[in-house]
Structure 1
Amino acid sequence: MSLASPYQFDHRGRTAESSRERHVRDLIEAVLFTAPGERVMRPDFGSGVAQLVFAPNSPELAGATQMLVQGALAQFLGDVVTVREVRVEARDETLRVTVAYSLRGDDQVQVASFSRGGAP
Protein backbone atom coordinates (compact mmCIF):
# COMPACT_ATOMS: atom_id res chain seq x y z
CA MET A 1 0.00 0.00 0.00
CA SER A 2 1.02 3.60 -0.63
CA LEU A 3 -0.09 6.93 0.74
CA ALA A 4 -3.05 8.40 -1.11
CA SER A 5 -2.17 11.28 -3.38
CA PRO A 6 -3.07 14.02 -2.81
CA TYR A 7 -2.59 13.54 0.91
CA GLN A 8 -5.90 12.97 2.69
CA PHE A 9 -7.54 11.25 5.62
CA ASP A 10 -9.70 8.14 5.51
CA HIS A 11 -13.04 7.57 7.28
CA ARG A 12 -11.18 6.68 10.49
CA GLY A 13 -9.26 9.94 10.58
CA ARG A 14 -6.00 8.23 9.63
CA THR A 15 -3.73 8.85 6.68
CA ALA A 16 -5.47 7.42 3.62
CA GLU A 17 -3.77 4.67 1.65
CA SER A 18 -4.21 3.54 -1.92
CA SER A 19 -3.10 0.60 -4.01
CA ARG A 20 0.19 0.84 -5.89
CA GLU A 21 -1.69 1.05 -9.19
CA ARG A 22 -3.88 3.93 -7.98
CA HIS A 23 -0.88 5.69 -6.46
CA VAL A 24 1.03 5.55 -9.77
CA ARG A 25 -2.02 6.82 -11.67
CA ASP A 26 -2.22 9.76 -9.25
CA LEU A 27 1.49 10.46 -9.76
CA ILE A 28 1.02 10.52 -13.53
CA GLU A 29 -1.83 13.00 -13.15
CA ALA A 30 0.33 15.19 -10.92
CA VAL A 31 3.12 15.27 -13.51
CA LEU A 32 0.71 16.06 -16.33
CA PHE A 33 -1.20 18.90 -14.75
CA THR A 34 1.43 20.58 -12.58
CA ALA A 35 2.95 23.62 -14.22
CA PRO A 36 6.74 23.99 -13.95
CA GLY A 37 7.43 26.52 -11.19
CA GLU A 38 4.23 25.65 -9.31
CA ARG A 39 6.01 23.63 -6.61
CA VAL A 40 8.37 25.71 -4.51
CA MET A 41 10.84 22.98 -3.58
CA ARG A 42 10.74 21.36 -7.04
CA PRO A 43 10.44 24.20 -9.56
CA ASP A 44 11.21 21.93 -12.54
CA PHE A 45 8.48 19.39 -11.66
CA GLY A 46 5.55 19.03 -14.05
CA SER A 47 4.80 19.28 -17.73
CA GLY A 48 2.57 22.34 -18.05
CA VAL A 49 0.15 20.48 -20.32
CA ALA A 50 -2.90 22.18 -18.78
CA GLN A 51 -1.81 25.49 -20.31
CA LEU A 52 -2.16 23.98 -23.80
CA VAL A 53 -5.96 24.00 -23.54
CA PHE A 54 -5.78 27.58 -24.76
CA ALA A 55 -3.29 27.01 -27.59
CA PRO A 56 -4.48 26.73 -31.21
CA ASN A 57 -5.26 23.13 -32.06
CA SER A 58 -3.08 21.56 -34.77
CA PRO A 59 -1.39 18.26 -35.60
CA GLU A 60 1.97 19.89 -34.83
CA LEU A 61 0.79 20.93 -31.36
CA ALA A 62 -0.54 17.42 -30.68
CA GLY A 63 2.80 15.89 -31.68
CA ALA A 64 4.79 18.35 -29.60
CA THR A 65 2.50 17.75 -26.62
CA GLN A 66 2.93 13.99 -26.90
CA MET A 67 6.70 14.42 -26.78
CA LEU A 68 6.41 16.86 -23.86
CA VAL A 69 4.30 14.39 -21.89
CA GLN A 70 6.55 11.41 -22.66
CA GLY A 71 9.63 13.41 -21.65
CA ALA A 72 8.09 14.64 -18.39
CA LEU A 73 6.89 11.15 -17.43
CA ALA A 74 10.29 9.65 -18.21
CA GLN A 75 12.06 12.36 -16.21
CA PHE A 76 9.91 12.25 -13.09
CA LEU A 77 8.49 8.70 -13.10
CA GLY A 78 10.99 6.77 -15.21
CA ASP A 79 11.94 4.60 -12.25
CA VAL A 80 8.28 3.71 -11.61
CA VAL A 81 6.66 3.28 -15.06
CA THR A 82 7.42 2.48 -18.66
CA VAL A 83 5.36 4.68 -20.97
CA ARG A 84 4.02 2.67 -23.90
CA GLU A 85 1.93 5.32 -25.68
CA VAL A 86 0.63 8.86 -25.20
CA ARG A 87 -2.38 10.28 -27.05
CA VAL A 88 -3.39 13.93 -26.77
CA GLU A 89 -6.69 15.40 -27.91
CA ALA A 90 -7.66 19.06 -27.66
CA ARG A 91 -11.29 19.79 -28.43
CA ASP A 92 -12.74 23.19 -27.75
CA GLU A 93 -11.78 23.98 -24.15
CA THR A 94 -11.06 20.38 -23.10
CA LEU A 95 -7.69 18.69 -23.19
CA ARG A 96 -7.64 14.88 -22.90
CA VAL A 97 -4.41 12.96 -22.39
CA THR A 98 -4.42 9.16 -22.56
CA VAL A 99 -1.36 7.34 -21.30
CA ALA A 100 -0.69 3.62 -21.80
CA TYR A 101 1.96 2.47 -19.35
CA SER A 102 3.19 -0.47 -17.35
CA LEU A 103 4.63 -0.53 -13.86
CA ARG A 104 8.33 -1.33 -13.71
CA GLY A 105 8.77 -5.07 -13.23
CA ASP A 106 5.31 -5.80 -14.67
CA ASP A 107 4.47 -6.20 -18.36
CA GLN A 108 0.73 -5.61 -17.88
CA VAL A 109 -0.26 -2.47 -19.80
CA GLN A 110 -2.59 -0.05 -18.05
CA VAL A 111 -4.40 2.83 -19.69
CA ALA A 112 -5.43 6.02 -17.93
CA SER A 113 -7.16 9.07 -19.37
CA PHE A 114 -7.01 12.53 -17.85
CA SER A 115 -8.82 15.67 -18.88
CA ARG A 116 -8.81 19.32 -17.96
CA GLY A 117 -10.92 22.19 -19.10
CA GLY A 118 -14.57 21.69 -19.97
CA ALA A 119 -16.62 18.54 -19.55
CA PRO A 120 -14.58 15.33 -19.03
Structure 2
Amino acid sequence: MSRTEVDFPYRVDSQGRTAGTGYDEHVRDMIKQLLFTSPGERVMRPDFGCGLLDLVFEPNSLELASTLQLSVQAALQRWLGDVIEVASLEIVSEDSVLRVELAYVVLATGAQRTEVFVEGSAR
Protein backbone atom coordinates (compact mmCIF):
# COMPACT_ATOMS: atom_id res chain seq x y z
CA MET A 1 0.00 0.00 0.00
CA SER A 2 1.68 3.23 -1.10
CA ARG A 3 -0.79 5.88 -0.08
CA THR A 4 0.20 9.04 1.72
CA GLU A 5 -1.39 10.04 5.00
CA VAL A 6 -1.31 13.31 6.96
CA ASP A 7 1.76 13.39 9.22
CA PHE A 8 1.40 13.86 12.97
CA PRO A 9 1.93 16.27 14.52
CA TYR A 10 0.50 18.43 11.77
CA ARG A 11 3.09 20.50 9.94
CA VAL A 12 3.76 22.11 6.58
CA ASP A 13 6.45 20.59 4.37
CA SER A 14 9.18 22.45 2.43
CA GLN A 15 6.81 22.98 -0.51
CA GLY A 16 4.19 24.70 1.63
CA ARG A 17 1.82 21.72 1.62
CA THR A 18 0.48 19.55 4.39
CA ALA A 19 3.27 17.15 5.28
CA GLY A 20 2.57 13.53 4.50
CA THR A 21 3.85 10.19 5.68
CA GLY A 22 3.55 6.53 4.68
CA TYR A 23 0.74 4.37 6.00
CA ASP A 24 2.87 2.37 8.44
CA GLU A 25 4.22 5.57 10.01
CA HIS A 26 0.67 6.95 10.13
CA VAL A 27 -0.36 3.88 12.14
CA ARG A 28 2.54 4.52 14.54
CA ASP A 29 1.31 8.11 14.89
CA MET A 30 -2.21 6.85 15.71
CA ILE A 31 -0.81 4.55 18.41
CA LYS A 32 1.16 7.43 19.90
CA GLN A 33 -1.96 9.61 19.96
CA LEU A 34 -3.93 6.87 21.69
CA LEU A 35 -1.24 6.26 24.30
CA PHE A 36 -0.67 9.89 25.22
CA THR A 37 -4.22 11.26 25.06
CA SER A 38 -5.99 11.52 28.39
CA PRO A 39 -9.61 10.37 28.56
CA GLY A 40 -11.81 13.46 28.49
CA GLU A 41 -9.31 15.44 26.40
CA ARG A 42 -11.22 15.03 23.12
CA VAL A 43 -14.59 16.71 23.07
CA MET A 44 -16.37 14.39 20.64
CA ARG A 45 -14.65 11.24 21.98
CA PRO A 46 -14.37 11.70 25.75
CA ASP A 47 -13.49 8.03 26.34
CA PHE A 48 -10.61 8.01 23.80
CA GLY A 49 -7.12 7.57 25.21
CA CYS A 50 -5.11 5.64 27.78
CA GLY A 51 -4.27 8.32 30.30
CA LEU A 52 -0.55 7.53 30.47
CA LEU A 53 0.29 11.23 30.78
CA ASP A 54 -1.80 11.41 33.94
CA LEU A 55 0.60 8.95 35.54
CA VAL A 56 3.91 10.62 34.73
CA PHE A 57 4.20 12.09 38.22
CA GLU A 58 2.80 9.06 40.06
CA PRO A 59 5.29 6.81 41.87
CA ASN A 60 6.19 3.98 39.52
CA SER A 61 5.73 0.42 40.70
CA LEU A 62 5.24 -3.07 39.33
CA GLU A 63 1.56 -2.87 40.24
CA LEU A 64 1.14 0.36 38.25
CA ALA A 65 2.88 -1.14 35.23
CA SER A 66 0.69 -4.28 35.39
CA THR A 67 -2.50 -2.24 35.64
CA LEU A 68 -1.40 -0.04 32.76
CA GLN A 69 -0.58 -3.04 30.61
CA LEU A 70 -4.17 -4.26 30.90
CA SER A 71 -5.68 -0.83 30.19
CA VAL A 72 -3.36 -0.13 27.25
CA GLN A 73 -4.08 -3.56 25.74
CA ALA A 74 -7.83 -2.89 26.04
CA ALA A 75 -7.52 0.59 24.49
CA LEU A 76 -5.43 -0.71 21.57
CA GLN A 77 -7.99 -3.42 20.91
CA ARG A 78 -10.94 -1.04 21.18
CA TRP A 79 -9.63 1.87 19.12
CA LEU A 80 -7.12 0.25 16.74
CA GLY A 81 -8.20 -3.39 16.63
CA ASP A 82 -9.18 -3.06 12.97
CA VAL A 83 -5.80 -1.49 12.09
CA ILE A 84 -3.23 -3.49 14.07
CA GLU A 85 -2.78 -6.87 15.70
CA VAL A 86 -0.79 -6.67 18.90
CA ALA A 87 1.96 -9.31 19.06
CA SER A 88 3.42 -8.24 22.39
CA LEU A 89 3.06 -5.38 24.83
CA GLU A 90 5.29 -4.58 27.76
CA ILE A 91 5.10 -1.58 30.03
CA VAL A 92 8.27 -0.89 31.99
CA SER A 93 8.30 1.44 34.95
CA GLU A 94 11.77 2.75 35.89
CA ASP A 95 12.33 5.73 38.18
CA SER A 96 10.28 8.57 36.68
CA VAL A 97 10.06 7.07 33.18
CA LEU A 98 7.27 4.97 31.74
CA ARG A 99 8.24 2.98 28.64
CA VAL A 100 5.76 1.17 26.39
CA GLU A 101 7.31 -1.51 24.20
CA LEU A 102 4.87 -2.64 21.53
CA ALA A 103 5.27 -5.22 18.77
CA TYR A 104 2.43 -5.28 16.27
CA VAL A 105 1.40 -6.12 12.73
CA VAL A 106 -0.19 -3.48 10.49
CA LEU A 107 -3.15 -5.41 9.09
CA ALA A 108 -3.44 -3.50 5.79
CA THR A 109 0.22 -3.97 4.82
CA GLY A 110 1.33 -6.98 6.85
CA ALA A 111 4.30 -4.98 8.15
CA GLN A 112 5.65 -6.22 11.47
CA ARG A 113 6.81 -3.36 13.66
CA THR A 114 8.34 -2.95 17.08
CA GLU A 115 8.13 0.50 18.66
CA VAL A 116 9.12 2.01 21.99
CA PHE A 117 7.12 4.93 23.34
CA VAL A 118 8.64 6.81 26.29
CA GLU A 119 7.12 9.38 28.60
CA GLY A 120 8.49 10.83 31.80
CA SER A 121 10.81 13.41 33.26
CA ALA A 122 13.98 11.81 31.85
CA ARG A 123 14.30 11.00 28.16
TM over 0.5: yes
Identity of aligned residues (%): 46
TM-score normalised to structure 2 length: 0.89
Structure 1 segments unaligned to the other structure (5+ residues)? none
Equivalent position amino acid for 1:38 in 2: E
Match of 1:77 in 2: 80
Distance 2:99 2:24 in 1: 20
Q: What secondary structure is seen at the aligned counterpart in 2 of 1:75?
A: helix
Give 3-state SS (helix, strand or coil) of 1:26's partner: helix
Once residues 76 and 24 of structure 2 are traced to their aligned partners in structure 1, the CA distance between those partners, rounded to angstroms, is 16
Matches within 5 A, 1:16-55: 16-55=19-58
Structure 2: give runs of 5+ residues left out of the alignment.
Answer: none
Asked if structure 1 preserves the Cα contact closer than 8 Å seen for 2:60 and 2:96, the reply is no
Which stretch of structure 1 is more off in the superposition, 3-12 or 74-83? 3-12
Q: Is the 8 A contact 1:81 1:104 kept in 2?
A: yes
Question: Which residue matches 1:90?
Answer: 93
**Mapped partners of 2:101, 2:117: distance in 1:** 6
TM-score computed with the length of structure 1 as normaliser: 0.91
**Count of matched residue pairs:** 120
